[in-house]
Amino acid sequence: MNSTTGRNFSPSRVAIFNGLIILALSSSLPLLVTSVSAEDRTGLTWTHYYNQDQVAEALKIMHKEYPGLTELQSLGKTAEDRDIWCLTITNQKHGPDIGKPAIYVDGAIHGNEIQATEVCLYTAWQLLTKYGEWDRITELVDRVTFYIIPTVNVDSRARYFSDPGSYNIGRSARQPHDDDHDGLLDEDDYEDIDSDGQILQMRIRDPHGDYRSHPEEPRVMLRIKPGEQGEWRRLGREGIDNDGDGKVNEDPPGYLDMNRNWGFKWQPYYVQSGSGDYPFSALNIKAISDFIATKPNIGFAFAFHNYGGMFLRGPGSKLSPPIQPADIKIFDYLGTEGEKTVPGYRYLISMEDLYTTHGDFDEFMYQCWGVYAFVTELYMSSQVAYRKETDTPTGSGNERYQHRPTLEERQKFNDHLMMGEMFEEWKPFDHPTYGEIEIGGWRQFSVRTSPEWMLPDMLHRNAMFVIWTATQLPNLSLEVIEVKRLDEDLYRVRARAANSGGIPTLSAKARYRNIYRQDQFSIEGKNLEVMSGGVLEDPHFDKVNAVEHRPWRILTYVPEFGKREVQWIVSGTGRATVIYDALKGGRHEVDVDLR
């Protein structure tokens, strides 16, 4: 086997290496071009992973090719001086981004969850390349704004591709920290001690160890049961004792889990590991939070992670207030659709169905901003099972893990569908401290990362769920339904704002906690005096819930798939303008003549 395409580089790294050669030759060339249709001017392809430099280049290409539909900005710099890119997508000829209902999408807040970035990129690509070709997408991009941040944890994702690594290294922020309290920062990192480009597992023979080899599959280690003889002791990931303190790999770079650093119910480290020194102490999280604060038009948010195949909503812990019943109805409606769009994924409640978390993104968005949000865990472990559809899953009996394959099944998948490329065979190594050990295990692009040939279906289904959810943002229409003359210059004006979307213009959380100003239903005119006004509760019996002050302006909202009707009694003649102004639904106006 050639060493370049075998041990040292996964297939994804080879594709990335070739792509970097193309970029080095000309920064204006598309990335990894095979064949480009007339409709797709980007040259982007979706059967491989993009490294972080290529992600930035892909965003620049999309912005360059579709300037009237995009805005590309850096929200700030990371600890290692990389840009945090945000791509805004909307048809600017139909109004500015802030004046339209918006959906927020981000990925890879955990740097080793790399396919989350791919979903974000693919979503942007789908919107742009299908604009003008697919009618529904064209209408959507005209009406709605998409804020897409493909990579939150830019530094760790970048190093996932550039440094020797492991599938479970690179989750946290790269901000330096003294993990072992010896006055030094990040001085005892993992190391590729056998120089194969991977950080694998170390094991040593030990009859008193906790593991033994599987009798039929020697690559698999099983935890011993009471009364069984041990064979192996696990030593952790590859590395040595760099600082001479008798410990290996105890102070690697990173300590801060960015998805425990948001400013709602943040808890210190002794309660929530990875939370950081204080809320928003991660540079990336502070920059993105500041951006979100300037976008009150956001009505829904997606944060893509991996893995497990889940659409998660709060509450994340018992410290969180309960979600408003009216909002649970919205979550349930959207989550049920997600389960249909991405078969096998499940709509779950974080605290009840997974585990307790504090300071996470979806709770921050809902509890602080009144914005509905899902954390989507991409990729199901059941997809690497080697079994017939009719076979009974042999994994854990726990419902949460009922389709998870056993380690033996994973090895069969590895052998039959990947020709063994996902697993590094155990090999002897002379360790400077432990002596004769073995190094091996699952390679970097495995376990949490789906094989590249699986990407297209996962990307498309999840992107289309994002796009479908955007169609459910408030979609308002405004009409004057009655103008009735009551006296010589006295009129009754009735108007209706209707919402054909499945998301209200304000969540119940936002309404009850007064997080935003309410929508404003108003009437104005040069020669007009508004005598009274209010929400029309029953037009047949003339029941009106009149406002006490400033009757020209009625503060309200429009529910999902619902309407809001109002009535004014006005004095005067001439032209009047009826306005419905919603932060999350846009501004709508209708003129009416009073004669």
Over residues 285-302, the pLDDT tens digits come to 999 999 999 999 999 999
Q: What pLDDT was estimated at residue 367?
A: 97
Instruction: Give 9: exposed, middle or buried? Use CB within 10 Å, 0-12, 13-18, 19+.
Output: middle
Which DSSP state fits 400? G
Residue 371: its pLDDT value, please? 98
The pLDDT > 70 percentage for the chain reads 91
Contact 437, 204 (CB under 8 A): yes
Total domains, the chain = 3
Kind of pairing, strands 232-237 and 346-349?
Answer: unpaired
Residue 319: per-residue pLDDT: 95
**245 vs 589, more confident:** 589
Residue at 264 is within a domain: yes
Residues 103 and 221 in one domain: no
Residue 231, domain member (yes or no): yes
Dig out the tokens for 566 from the structure.
Answer: 């109002």
Nearest to 6 by CA among 421, 429, 412, 495: 421
- H helices of 342-390, where? 361-363, 369
pLDDT at 582 over 90: yes
| CA atoms lying within 13 Å on the CB side of residue 434 | 24
Mean pLDDT of the chain: 90
Statement to judge: residues 423 and 504 lie in one domain: no
Rounded to the nearest 5°, which phi and psi values hold at 329?
-60, -40
- For 316, how many CA atoms within 13 A lie in the half-sphere containing its CB? 23
For CA atoms 85, 86, 89, 95, give the dihedral sign.
negative
Question: Residue 186 pLDDT > 90, yes or no?
Answer: no
Tens of pLDDT along 488-503? 899 999 999 999 999 9
Apex 331 CA angle, 328 and 334, nearest 5: 150
Please indicate, yes or no, if residue 322 is contained in any of the structural domains. Answer: yes
Euclidean distance between CA atoms 305 and 112, whole angstroms: 9
Give the residue numbers spanning the domain of 120: 49-161+257-379+454-470
- Position 393 scores a pLDDT of 61
More confident residue, 181 or 328: 328
Show the tokens assigned to 559. Answer: 């529910």
Task: Determine, yes or no, domain membership for 65.
Answer: yes
When pLDDT is cut at 50, 70 and 90, the band that residue 368 belongs to is very high
Please list the residues that pair with 346 across neighbouring strands. 310
Asked if residue 283 and residue 248 are part of one domain, the reply reads no
Exposure of 46 in the CB half-sphere (CA atoms within 13 A)? 21
Query: How large a percentage of the chain has pLDDT more than 90?
Result: 80
- pLDDT digits over 438-456, tens only? 999 999 999 989 999 999 9
Quick one: pLDDT at residue 355? 92
Q: Is the pLDDT of residue 33 over 50?
A: no
- Which one-letter amino acid corresponds to residue 223? R
Q: 142 by DSSP, 3-state: which? A: helix
Same domain? 214 vs 286 = no
* Token reading at 278: 């204080």
Query: What pLDDT score was predicted for residue 247?
Result: 85
| 206 inside domain | yes
Give the pLDDT band (50/70/90) at residue 39. low
Top pLDDT among 227 and 30 is at 227
84/125 same-domain check = yes
Distance separating alpha carbons of residues 71 and 68, to the nearest angstrom: 8
Least confident of 39-48, 313-322, 545-554: 39-48
Alpha carbon distances (Å) from 520 to 186, 265, 555, 585: 54, 32, 5, 11
Residues 272 and 153 in one domain: yes
Query: What pLDDT is attached to residue 502?
Result: 98
Instruction: Identify whether residues 154 and 281 lie together within a single domain.
Output: yes
State the angle between helix axes of 52-65 and 11-25 in degrees (0 to 180), rounded to the nearest 10: 50
One-letter amino acid for residue 221 of the chain: M
Element (H, E) at 512: helix 508-512
> What pLDDT is recorded for position 148?
98
Could you tell me if 278 and 365 lie in one domain?
Answer: yes
Model pLDDT, residue 404: 77
Does some domain include residue 176? no
CATH code, domain with 552: 2.60.40.10
The reported pLDDT for the residue numbered 18 is 40
Question: 249: helix, coil or strand?
Answer: coil
What per-residue confidence (pLDDT) applies to 34? 36
